[in-house]
């Protein structure tokens, strides 16, 4: 956890990798992560935790596989959405997008169960800011 303010703009400017979140601070047992995203992530499920998304810039689509069928939510800049635990989902960004996520420390970006992870997706629990 940081003891000084963190500029999200500076944090995002400190790396270029897509789908590779950086931990900007912590809240209790949660990481606050930022990421640059574009293109598709991977279908995955977090069995034991919800996943919170805030779009800082751009647009994020999240495909959801729910009991009633598949649907997609679209988040524009300033929008938030929480994927409930146990819900299979797949983020997709049609344009370069910056997001903030709130997840329990140690949560893997590709969840507990997932499709094959493509090379452009970083399967990580988050990276420290440099």
Looking at residue 8, the DSSP 8-state letter turns out to be: H
d(CA 96, CA 83): 21
Residue 119 has a CB neighbour count (10 Å cut-off) of: 5
Q: pLDDT > 90: what percent of the chain?
A: 79
Q: How far is CA 115 from the centre of its chain?
A: 16
DSSP 80-120: EEEEPTT-EEEEEEEEEEEEEEEEETT--TT-SEESPPPTT
Region 53-60: mean pLDDT is: 98
d(CA 86, CA 50): 8
d(CA 30, CA 94): 28
pLDDT band for position 78 (50/70/90)? very high
Region 95-121: mean pLDDT is: 89
Give pLDDT tens digits for 4-43. 899 999 999 999 999 999 999 999 999 999 999 999 999 9
What domains lie within the chain, and their CATH numbers? 8-115 (2.60.120.10)
């Amino acid at each position: 956890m940081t003891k000084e303010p963190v500029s999200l703009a500076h944090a995002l400017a400190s790396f270029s990798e897509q789908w590779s979140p950086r931990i900007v601070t912590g809240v209790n047992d949660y990481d606050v992560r930022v990421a640059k995203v574009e293109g598709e992530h991977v279908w995955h499920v977090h069995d034991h935790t919800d996943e919170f998304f805030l779009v800082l810039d751009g647009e994020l689509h999240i495909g959801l596989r729910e009991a009633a069928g598949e649907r997609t939510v679209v988040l524009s800049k300033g929008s938030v959405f929480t994927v409930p635990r146990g819900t299979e989902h797949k983020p997709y960004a049609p344009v370069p997008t910056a997001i903030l996520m709130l997840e329990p420390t140690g949560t893997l970006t590709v969840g507990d169960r997932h499709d094959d992870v493509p090379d452009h997706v970083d399967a990580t629990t988050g990276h420290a800011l440099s």
